[in-house]
């Protein structure tokens, strides 16, 4: 069972991709929706709004705890920002999940009108991936345990890091869910299968939900 964080952002596109792959999924809006997940997708959207809604809904710390305990995660665009340990050009009250040791700059590629596509070589995927960048971030620093999966091949942003992995967490600046190519999601699902993880809420959180 794959969860898709559904507090804000492009949830349906990921749902359609998982449907094409025949993978069961559910939207994650409340703490109890984390129970029984084998992985979670953090979609694109507005990262500061998403972080605030996680905090207001009491989801921020349980989701952090789930990732720390081994729940595999894949973040696209805003999802990448949420997974970062450090965020540049964000609001002072924004939160992150601190799941990947990296520094991410919001809207690094510019405004919506500066959105673009590029064919990328992504480690672990045999054929080039057409990547769609929409007000996308990029990664300016990675820790020693972070594997760089893809960089922009050419143009003004040549060399910019746009896909990473650390342990059971993966993130991309781009949106594979808005294309017909399912290879990036398949790479994440391979990570999920290798992890063999099923998340269970701590007893105190289960009790709190019953009250």
Q: 194 a known binding residue?
A: no
51 is in an annotated binding site: no
**64 sits in which H/E element:** helix 60-68
pLDDT at position 113: 44
Which residues, in sequence order, are bridge partners of residue 5?
28
33 neighbors 26 (Cβ within 8 angstroms): yes
DSSP notation for 100-149: EEEEEETTTT-SGGG-EEEEE--TT-SS-EEEEESS--EEEEE-TTPEEE
**pLDDT tens digits for range 112-149:** 546 788 899 999 999 999 999 988 999 999 999 999 99
Tell me the C-alpha distance between 128 and 42, whole Å.
23
**Are 25 and 190 in contact, with CB atoms under 8 Å apart?**
no
Query: What is the distance between the alpha carbons of residues 79 and 4, in angstroms, rounded to a whole number?
Result: 11
Q: Which strand (E) or helix (H) includes residue 163?
A: strand 161-166
Does 47 count as an annotated binding residue?
Answer: yes
Tell me the two tokens of residue 134: 């929409």
The 3-state DSSP class for residue 83 equals helix
Question: Hey, which residues are catalytic here?
Answer: 77, 175, 177
Determine if residue 46 is labeled as part of a ligand binding site: yes
pLDDT at 79 over 90: yes
Q: How many residues belong to the chain?
A: 211
DSSP 5: E
- pLDDT tens readout for residues 88-118: 988 888 899 999 999 999 988 876 546 788 8
Select 2-195's CATH number: 3.40.109.10, 3.40.50.880, 3.90.640.10, 3.40.50.620.
Answer: 3.40.50.880
């Amino acid at each position: 069972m794959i969860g898709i964080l559904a507090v804000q952002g492009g949830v349906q596109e990921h749902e359609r991709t998982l449907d094409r792959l025949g993978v069961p999924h559910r939207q994650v809006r409340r703490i109890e929706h984390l129970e029984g997940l084998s992985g979670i997708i953090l979609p694109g959207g507005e990262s500061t709004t998403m972080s605030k809604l996680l905090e207001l809904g009491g989801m921020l710390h349980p989701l952090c705890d789930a990732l720390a305990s081994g729940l595999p995660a894949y973040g696209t665009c805003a999802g990448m920002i949420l997974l970062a340990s450090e965020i540049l050009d964000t609001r002072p009250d924004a939160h992150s999940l601190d799941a990947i040791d990296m520094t991410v700059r919001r809207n690094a590629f510019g405004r919506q009108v500066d959105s673009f596509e590029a064919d990328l070589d992504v480690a672990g995927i045999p054929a080039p991936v057409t990547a769609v960048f929409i007000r996308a971030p990029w990664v300016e620093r990675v820790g020693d345990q972070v594997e760089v999966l893809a960089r922009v091949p050419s143009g003004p942003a040549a060399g910019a890091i746009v896909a990473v992995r650390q342990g059971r967490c993966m993130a991309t600046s781009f949106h594979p869910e808005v294309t017909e190519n399912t290879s990036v999601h398949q790479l994440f699902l391979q990570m999920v299968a290798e992890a063999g993880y099923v998340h269970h809420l701590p007893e105190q959180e289960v009790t709190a939900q019953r009250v």
